[in-house]
A and B are shown apart, each in its own frame.
Chain A
Amino acid sequence: MLGLNSKDTSLLLVVAALTMLAPFILNPFPEGSELAQFNAGYPDLMQRFVIFGIFAIGFNILFGLTGYLSFGHAAFLGVGSYGAIWMMKLVTLNVIPAIIMAVIFAGLFAVVVGYISLRRSGIYFSILTLAFAQMSYALAYSVLTPITGGETGLQLKSTDNPIFNNLAEGEIGRASLFGMDMRTSFELEAGAWLFTFNVGYYIAAVFMLLAFYMSIRIFRSPFGMMLRAVKSNQNRLSYTGLNAKPYTLAAFVISGMYAGLAGGLLVAMDTQVGPERMFWTASGEVVLMTILGGAGTLIGPVLGAGMIKYMENIISKINDNILHQWFAWMPDGLEDFTVFLIHPFIGKGWHLTLGIVFMLVVIFLPGGLVEGGQRIGRMLKGRKKTSGGDGDPEHHPKPAPHVAE
């Protein structure tokens, strides 16, 4: 289907089903129960899941396939965001032109940054991209204040009057898709559960599925094969008659455009942008997402993005009071002690938890969460199979962890 083999088609369908049913899946706990704070099925967070999923999918096309580690991808996200907000301020509040503009802006910027950065490889490439991103951040923060709004960033204001919208005097525009407000939500109450279906989320989800589909096509294409060859052996590649530079540049620009798409969607959801979106920690975050989920795998980056955004939003919400409630059944002294022990890992300490999870994954599951899933799958399969080997003990081609399965 759609030019994919049956395995990829089923993967795409599973992902599509999960994203479409996310408002249910992410809200497993009844409203008002103690566990309700672990529910992630509210629009703002769900939007972040899919948007940062797009960002990581794009990053993975560069890093997962070619092995070039860009440390400045947030710059493209930021440039896309600024492009999108100006489109909304000046032209139309419809999100589609804004998103298209974001992709174009980020793509053009990626051509420039990629052309220069790809003169070097390895750590020097990473440093060059980092330098570009930090320069972009610094420009957006101070020098380019008239365009970027400086420290405060840009928002839709009552003074904005996009030419294709007839806003009343003093009315603040709202992002929409052909009249559908991004912030519109439908709520469904089922017993104790409350499910929220948000227009913005579904638009972002459709973009994510498109982005995911395109990434599968790229992974399976001759182009994707060349990119893996770049990672594997550049010397052989050039003596095979292929020029690595345009291949890596194309991968860089494509992943920059994915980042731009994510930036445009962020603006479409909350109609604001600030320079911190380009800060180097934001670039580092997408690296973490990709490695955590499994670099070079199809679904890994999306999982990684989901995991990090979940921890950022959910674990950071937990505070000592909640912990005391949980451990109220313990004797007083022990309760205080347990809370004291867990305290550094919650609330503002969520980074600590993330760091530990990241370390565990890198050490024990170098292939990321996807490898974890594969191991569990193999264990289940192995248990089903009765004893007796594969017949040929000599040939156990070891699966390269970065090749998409």
Chain B
Amino acid sequence: MGILEVKGVGKRFGGLQALGDVNLSVQENTVHAIIGPNGAGKSTLLNCLIGKLIPDTGSVMFDGQSVLGRKPHEINQMGISRVFQTPEIFGDLTVFENVMIPCFAKRDGAFRLHAFESVPKEKDLVQQAEEMLTEMNMIDKRHMHAAALSRGDKRRLEMAMCLVQQPKLLLLDEPTAGMARADTNNTIDLLKEIKEKRDITMAIIEHDMHVVFSLAERITVLAQGTPLVEDTPDNIKGHPKVQEAYLGQAH
């Protein structure tokens, strides 16, 4: 039984069957990549996982609970943190504040009226945030406004914000989309570094096959709304069906 269980998920938009019958199981402490060519249904699947879309059929269970129909903040409180295509951070806040907010969210839940407390007095949370920033080599930038960071640092900051919550599942949505080669490699290195340092479950939705080969332990290949194969990277590489999906029908 995996931490994330997708069973028989189907979604239809008008005449288009975006997702057919998707079954997927993400095991704890593994890096699971979901790849596929354009239009394979990756984004639809992702939106089903985070409650943005409700599938017509099937179920999505996370840690024994259904995620369907839940709001983003509820899904986060269940233990799923999400990294976006372009880093989503609080640009007007300092780097330190950016990391403090998820700490508060983890401890206090979705809302608390702590209007007369003081941020620096939360010694435990401050320590957590500082340790996280140290781990990400960003501690010397803690007083900077997040919007002033370089693109790579924004990505690191977003990772820090997700990891400081110690999520049960880290969901990455095309983390290298639209990046130059050098940035892509930096992101891959960052993910590898994170994986080495801690036990973490990651699900990566990705278009580019090469990004995930060096990173993932399991890969699911999606084509035309259905999973073609699920296997280890080595086996996927030479798989004729995968070649066909990426090179044959798609063109």
Bound Cα distance from A29 to B223, whole angstroms: 82
Query: A233 near B145 (CB under 8 angstroms)?
Result: no
Closest to B104 in A: A222
Write the B94-122 contact mask toward A (1 if CB under 8 angstroms, else 0): 00010011101110011111111111001
B177 within 8 A of A: no
Query: B90 near A229 (CB under 8 angstroms)?
Result: yes
Query: A220 near B119 (CB under 8 angstroms)?
Result: yes
B71 within 8 A of A: yes
Q: Interface-forming stretch among A262-270, A356-364, A394-402? A: A394-402
Contacts A243-B73, A397-B148 given; does A232 touch B92 at CB 8 Å: yes
**Dominant secondary structure at the B interface:** loop
Closest to B102 in A: A240
Closest to A5 in B: B120
A217 within 8 A of B: yes
Nearest chain B CB to A241 CB, angstrom units: 4
Write the A201-242 contact mask toward B (1 if CB under 8 angstroms, else 0): 000000000000010011011111110110111011111111
B34 within 8 A of A: no
Tally of contacts, chain A with chain B, CB under 8 A: 121
Write the B70-81 contact mask toward A (1 if CB under 8 angstroms, else 0): 011100110001
Nearest chain A CB to B232 CB, angstrom units: 30
B144 within 8 A of A: yes
B147 within 8 A of A: yes
Closest to A230 in B: B90
Closest to A233 in B: B90
Query: B93 near A229 (CB under 8 angstroms)?
Result: yes
Contacts A226-B101, A239-B76, A241-B77 given; does A400 touch B147 at CB 8 Å: yes
Bound Cα distance from A232 to B92, whole angstroms: 6
Query: A242 near B92 (CB under 8 angstroms)?
Result: no
Query: B116 near A240 (CB under 8 angstroms)?
Result: no
Write the A385-399 contact mask toward B (1 if CB under 8 angstroms, else 0): 000000000011111
Query: A397 near B73 (CB under 8 angstroms)?
Result: no
Query: A217 near B115 (CB under 8 angstroms)?
Result: yes
Query: B113 near A223 (CB under 8 angstroms)?
Result: yes
Which residues of A have CB within 8 Å of B165?
A: 240-241
Nearest chain A CB to B24 CB, angstrom units: 21
Query: B77 near A222 (CB under 8 angstroms)?
Result: no
* Residues in B27-83 with C-beta less than 8 Å from chain A: 50, 71-73, 76-77, 81-82
User: Interface residue tally of chain A, by bracket?
Assistant: 35 or more
B89 within 8 A of A: yes
A246 within 8 A of B: yes
A3 within 8 A of B: yes
Query: A218 near B145 (CB under 8 angstroms)?
Result: no
Query: A223 near B115 (CB under 8 angstroms)?
Result: yes
Query: B106 near A241 (CB under 8 angstroms)?
Result: yes
Bound Cα distance from A132 to B119, whole angstroms: 36
Nearest chain B CB to A250 CB, angstrom units: 6
Which residues of B have CB within 8 Å of A193?
A: none
Closest to A401 in B: B92
Write the B147-173 contact mask toward A (1 if CB under 8 angstroms, else 0): 110000000000001000100000000
The residue that B88 contacts in the complex, of A221, A225, A239, A250, with Cβ under 8 A, is A239
Query: B91 near A233 (CB under 8 angstroms)?
Result: yes
Nearest chain A CB to B160 CB, angstrom units: 12
Which residues of B have CB within 8 Å of A403?
A: 92
B192 within 8 A of A: no
Bound Cα distance from A3 to B121, whole angstroms: 10
Closest to A245 in B: B111
B12 within 8 A of A: no
A38 within 8 A of B: no
Query: A397 near B144 (CB under 8 angstroms)?
Result: yes
A247 within 8 A of B: yes
Closest to B116 in A: A217
B239 within 8 A of A: no
Bound Cα distance from A130 to B162, whole angstroms: 39
Query: A242 near B105 (CB under 8 angstroms)?
Result: yes
B143 within 8 A of A: yes
Query: A235 near B92 (CB under 8 angstroms)?
Result: no
* Residues in A240-280 with C-beta less than 8 Å from chain B: 240-243, 246-247, 250, 254
Which residues of B have CB within 8 Å of A221?
A: 114-119
Q: Which 7 A-B pairs have the closest CB atoms?
A: A241-B76, A241-B105, A243-B110, A238-B72, A232-B90, A223-B115, A246-B111
26 chain-A/chain-B pairs, Cβ below 8 angstroms: A218-B115, A222-B104, A222-B112, A222-B117, A225-B101, A229-B90, A233-B89, A236-B88, A236-B161, A239-B72, A240-B165, A241-B77, A241-B105, A241-B109, A241-B165, A242-B73, A242-B110, A243-B71, A246-B110, A247-B111, A395-B148, A396-B148, A397-B143, A397-B144, A398-B148, A402-B92
